[in-house]
Amino acid sequence: MVQLIESDILTKEVLDWQGLHLFHFMSSSCSQKTRVCLNLKNIEWESHHLNLSAGDNYTDYYLGINPRGLVPTLIHDGEVHIESNDILLLLDERFPDVKLVPAGLEDQIAELLHHEDDLHLDLRTLTFRFTQPRGKEPRSKETLQNYRDRGSGTVGGEPDAHKDVELKFWETAARTGITDDAVRVSAGRFKAALEELEDRLQINPYLLGDEISVLDVTWVIYINRLVRCGYPLEQLHSAVNKWFWPLREQPKFARELQVPPDVQKAVEENHVNLRQAGATLVDVAGL
């Protein structure tokens, strides 16, 4: 579990904060799954909303809290936690009235969440190609230099290589864009993962049995994004499709997945253009 130590944190004021605080972004998939879990567990928390599009996560202030510059960040009575799946497990442990990690399945869930997390850059790849247009340079050179230079650069007191992974993604996106080959690789990984979920849902109403778990939450969020990218869920994974939509439409999920009208309009216009060009996700990935 990734919990920062005091030397990692340059914005020292947060070490004195009491209660539960969440730094998040409305459209971030990792923020969405955290907020849904908070909703399902009926936990009160204080919101600190960042606009990632405006670079709020690359400021001295925020990189002084989370040296990786990602969301969400959870602060609980002065403890700073920066990895979304770790945050979900922590919340389930500390607020056990509504359990989303079934007893006896802790190790299995941790492994399955790790597999889900491995697909995060694949989700970003498809998002940046198939939702609204992002331009040739999604993160400016100045923004990335701020990211490179600010913050402690350490996690647990050790140099953190995770920032290099982030920088490589954005620099590659600026240099080559999201290529067809990258799309095919990412879509293929998701197709294989969803085929595994399909098998699970042939015998259970939820991914781990008869009750909703944190794994259902995380995959609803990912699949929601895939559907917005044009992934043919119903055609390829009928059992996943039947499981997904009733959960997606529950108020505790739906309110965290709302899309601003201007963004939705841009997505729809982009999909029209992609269809006309024969360049949809289905076309490019051969789904």
The pLDDT tens digits of the residues spanning 56-93 come to 999 999 999 999 999 999 999 999 999 999 999 999 99
Residue 187 and residue 119 in contact, taking contact as beta carbons nearer than 8 Å: no
**Structure letter (DSSP) for residue 119:** T
Residue 138 predicted with pLDDT over 90: no
The pLDDT-based confidence of 130 (bands split at 50, 70, 90) is very high
Question: Which two tokens mark 49?
Answer: 């909303």
How many beta carbons lie within 10 A of that of residue 110, not counting itself? 14
CA separation for the pair 116, 192 (Å, rounded) = 12
Could you tell me the maximum CA-CA distance found in the chain, to the nearest angstrom? 55
* Domains, the chain: 6-105 (3.40.30.10), 110-136+177-285 (1.20.1050.10)
SS3 state of residue 96: coil
Torsion region of 286: left, alpha or beta (phi above 0 gives left; psi -120 to 50 gives alpha): left
The pLDDT tens digits of the residues spanning 243-273 come to 999 999 999 999 999 999 999 999 999 999 9
Residue 285 predicted with pLDDT over 90: yes
Question: Which two tokens mark 46?
Answer: 């204080």
The pLDDT-based confidence of 140 (bands split at 50, 70, 90) is confident
* pLDDT for residue 22: 98
**CB neighbours of 127 closer than 8 A, spacing ≥ 6?**
225, 228, 229
